């Protein structure tokens, strides 16, 4: 736990990842996404029994709320609001036409029990887990085959409590590849914005086989000695491209571990500041 106290790596990124055809016109894409942000229906995770005390496990509450919101998908979609508090949870999955919105003082906290992160199939293009043979732990917030999803907050926090995963990695007691904070597979039209991500077990944000993913105004933090805590790793698609819109600051870090996968790092211009 002591290592999590020293949050020395800071990554602030305003970026667009997506197909080159619309990446050339980020303004129009943003406007298009912006106009679709209104959801006619909204519920709070507390309506499904969640308790924001940092102790109660809320996986079922998140799953039940999202299951309930299925019925609004063809009615303009819905918002799941996470109010101020500390919301401990295992992995849960999103649906299409959903906004997951965190209050500025909301912290979604990943469980430190690996069994709360189910093991899923390896990615087809990897054929095995990235670190170990076989499956891999599902990300804290997972999405597959989705469209029109927004994950946002007034700089609310998603905390993976990764230190326990880094220990398992370092002492070779992992059974499966470590999970991400957010992984989206086969998805299109995703916005991740106005959030802080801390202490991911592994890479923080992993869009794979996706298109039209916008990651904007997020802060990603992890200690410098944490293994493979990359910020954003766009992956496995010929159609994905990263365009750095504004700025990126890395403070006192091992660049290859906080930033992008090696392939994509070359596309960005990096401003590195050490203190």
Ligand X SMILES: *[C@@H]1O[C@H](CO)[C@@H](O)[C@H](O)[C@H]1NC(C)=O
Q: Which residues bind ligand X (CB under 6 A)?
A: 37, 114, 145, 150, 152, 154-155, 164, 167-168, 171, 173-175, 186, 191, 193-194, 196, 217, 219
Give the list of residues 6+ apart from residue 113 with CB closer than 8 angstroms, or none.
Answer: 90
Q: How far is the CB of 209 from ligand X (least distance, A)?
A: 7
- Closer to ligand X at the Cβ: 58 or 114? 114
Query: Which two three-digit tokens encode residue 83?
Result: 């109010």
Distance CA 207, CA 19 (A): 13
Place of tokens 């106009």: 35
Q: Taking the complex as a whole, how short is the minimal distance between the CB of residue 192 and ligand X, in angstroms?
A: 9
Query: Residue 182 Cβ, how far from ligand X at the closest point, in Å?
Result: 15
Supply the minimum distance, in Å, between the C-beta of residue 186 and ligand X.
Answer: 4
Supply the minimum distance, in Å, between the C-beta of residue 37 and ligand X. Answer: 5
Supply the minimum distance, in Å, between the C-beta of residue 266 and ligand X. Answer: 25
Q: How far is 99 from 34, CA to CA, in rounded Å?
A: 12
Nearer to ligand X by Cβ, of 221 and 260: the residue is 221
- Closer residue to ligand X in complex, CB, 113/262: 113
Nearest-angstrom CA–CA distance, 152 and 192: 6
Structure tokens at 25: 């016109």
Of 46 and 236, nearer to ligand X (C-beta) is 236
Q: Is the dihedral of CA 84, 78, 65, 176 positive or negative?
A: negative
The least distance separating ligand X from the CB of residue 46, rounded to whole angstroms, comes to: 21
What residues have CB less than 8 Å from 114, skipping those under 6 apart?
137, 165, 168, 175
- By C-beta, is 50 or 185 nearer to ligand X? 185
For the chain, give percent helix, strand, coil, nearest 5: 20, 35, 40
Cβ neighbours around 86 below 10 Å, total: 18
**Residue number, 8 or 265, with CB nearest to ligand X:** 8
Q: How far apart are CA 156 and CA 168, in angstroms?
A: 28
Which C-beta is closer to ligand X: that of 19 or that of 155? 155
Q: Are 67 and 87 in contact (CB under 8 A)?
A: no
Q: Which residue has the tokens 């055809």?
A: 21
């Amino acid at each position: 736990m002591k290592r999590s106290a020293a949050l020395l790596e800071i990554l602030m990124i305003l970026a667009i990842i997506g197909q080159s055809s619309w990446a050339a016109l980020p303004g129009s894409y943003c406007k298009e996404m912006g106009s679709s942000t209104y959801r006619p229906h909204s519920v709070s995770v507390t309506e499904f029994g969640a308790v924001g005390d940092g102790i109660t496990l809320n996986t079922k509450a998140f799953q039940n709320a999202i299951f309930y919101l299925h019925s609004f998908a063809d009615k303009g979609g819905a918002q799941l609001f996470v109010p101020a508090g500390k919301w401990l949870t295992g992995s849960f999955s999103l649906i299409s036409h959903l906004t997951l919105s965190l209050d500025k003082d909301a912290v979604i906290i990943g469980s430190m029990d690996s069994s709360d992160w189910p093991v899923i199939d390896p990615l087809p293009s990897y054929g095995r887990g990235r670190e170990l043979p076989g499956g891999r732990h599902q990300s804290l917030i997972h999405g597959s085959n989705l469209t029109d999803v927004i994950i946002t907050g007034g700089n609310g926090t998603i905390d993976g409590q990764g230190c326990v995963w880094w220990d398992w990695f370092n002492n070779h007691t992992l059974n499966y590849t470590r999970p991400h904070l957010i992984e989206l597979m086969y998805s299109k039209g995703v916005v991740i914005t106005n959030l802080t991500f801390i202490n991911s077990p592994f890479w923080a944000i992993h869009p794979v086989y996706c298109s039209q993913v916008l990651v904007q105004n997020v802060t990603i933090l992890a200690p410098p000695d944490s293994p493979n805590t990359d910020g954003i790793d766009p992956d496995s698609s010929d159609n994905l491209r990263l365009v750095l819109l504004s700025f990126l600051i890395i403070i006192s870090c091992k660049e290859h571990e906080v930033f992008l996968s090696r392939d994509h790092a070359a596309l960005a211009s990096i401003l590195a500041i050490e203190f």
